[in-house]
Structure 1
Amino acid sequence: MSLLEIRNLSVDFATSSGQFRAVDGVDVTVDEGDLLAIVGESGSGKSVSMLALMGLLPWTATVTADKMEFDGHDLRRLSGRARRRIIGRDISMIFQEPMSSLNPAFTVGWQIKESLRKHTSLSRSQRQDRAVELMRQVGIPAPEKRLSAYPHQLSGGMSQRAMIAIALACRPKLLIADEPTTALDVTIQAQILELLTGLQEDTGMAMVLITHDMGVVAETVERVQVQYAGQRVELQEVQGLFDDPHHPYTAALLAALPERATERKLPTIPGVVPGQFDRPAGCLFSPRCQFADARCKAERPVPAGPAMGHALCHYPLSHGHPTGKETAA
Structure 2
Amino acid sequence: MPLLEIRNLTVEFQTASGRFRAVDSMDFEVGTGDMLAIVGESGSGKSVAMLALMGLLPWTATVTADRMAFAGRDLLTISKRERRDIVGKEIAMIFQEPMTSLNPCFTIGFQIQESLRVHLGLDRKERRARALELLREVGIPEPERRLSAFPHQLSGGMSQRAMIAMALACRPKLLIADEPSTALDVTIQAQILDLLVALQRDTGMALVLITHDMGVVAETAERVVVQYAGQQVERQSVYGLFEDPHHPYTAALLAALPERATGRHLPSIPGVVPGQGDRPACCLFNPRCRFATDLCRTVVPPRAGGEFGEALCHYPLDHGRPTGHPDPDGSLAAAPEETNA
TM over 0.5: yes
Q: Which residue of 1 aligns with 2:229?
A: 229
Give SS of 1:308's match.
Answer: coil
Query: Structure 2: which 5+ runs fail to align?
Result: 330-341
Percent identical pairs in the alignment equals 73
Distance 1:309 1:259, change over 3 A: farther
Query: Structure 1: which 5+ runs fail to align?
Result: none
- State whether residues 98 and 156 of structure 1, in contact with CA within 8 Å, keep that contact through their aligned partners in structure 2: yes
Which amino acid counterpart does residue 326 of structure 1 have in structure 2?
A: P
Alignment TM-score, normalising by the size of structure 2: 0.95
Counterpart check, 1:127 vs 2:127: yes
Counterpart check, 1:34 vs 2:34: yes
Distance in 1, matches of 2:285 and 2:142, equals 50
Give SS of 1:281's match.
Answer: coil
Cα deviations by residue, 1:55-113 (Å, 9 ceiling, x for unpaired) = 00111111111100000110011100010000000000000000000000000000000
Distance in 2, matches of 1:307 and 1:222, equals 20
Structural RMSD (CA): 0.9
Which amino acid counterpart does residue 234 of structure 2 have in structure 1?
A: E
Aligned-pair distance for 1:184? 0.2
Give SS of 1:224's match.
Answer: strand
Distance in 2, matches of 1:309 and 1:303, equals 6
- State whether residues 304 and 316 of structure 1, in contact with CA within 8 Å, keep that contact through their aligned partners in structure 2: no
- State whether residues 305 and 311 of structure 1, in contact with CA within 8 Å, keep that contact through their aligned partners in structure 2: no
Distance in 1, matches of 2:79 and 2:89, equals 16
Q: Which residue of 2 aligns with 1:186?
A: 186
Distance in 1, matches of 2:136 and 2:308, equals 44
Which amino acid counterpart does residue 242 of structure 1 have in structure 2?
A: F
Distance in 1, matches of 2:309 and 2:146, equals 46
Pairs within 5 Å for 1:15-30: 15-30=15-30
Aligned-pair distance for 1:122? 1.5
Distance in 2, matches of 1:113 and 1:301, equals 49
Q: Which residue of 2 aligns with 1:56?
A: 56
Q: Which residue of 1 aligns with 2:333?
A: none
Cα deviations by residue, 1:117-170 (Å, 9 ceiling, x for unpaired) = 110022211111000000000000010110000000000000000000000000
Which amino acid counterpart does residue 222 of structure 1 have in structure 2?
A: E
Give SS of 2:59's match.
Answer: coil
Distance in 1, matches of 2:306 and 2:147, equals 48
Which amino acid counterpart does residue 233 of structure 2 have in structure 1?
A: V
Pairs within 5 Å for 1:113-262: 113-262=113-262
Cα deviations by residue, 1:223-264 (Å, 9 ceiling, x for unpaired) = 010010111100111011000000000000000000000121
Distance 1:76 1:143, change over 3 A: same
Which amino acid counterpart does residue 201 of structure 2 have in structure 1?
A: E
- State whether residues 11 and 23 of structure 1, in contact with CA within 8 Å, keep that contact through their aligned partners in structure 2: yes
Aligned-pair distance for 1:265? 1.0
Give SS of 1:131's match.
Answer: helix
Distance in 2, matches of 1:118 and 1:321, equals 55
Give SS of 1:127's match.
Answer: helix
Q: Which residue of 2 aligns with 1:109?
A: 109
- State whether residues 227 and 234 of structure 1, in contact with CA within 8 Å, keep that contact through their aligned partners in structure 2: yes
Q: How many residues align?
A: 329
Q: Which residue of 2 aligns with 1:289?
A: 289
Pairs within 5 Å for 1:304-315: 304-305=304-305, 307-308=307-308, 310-315=310-315
Give SS of 1:69's match.
Answer: strand
Counterpart check, 1:302 vs 2:272: no
Q: Which residue of 2 aligns with 1:278?
A: 278
Which amino acid counterpart does residue 158 of structure 1 have in structure 2?
A: M
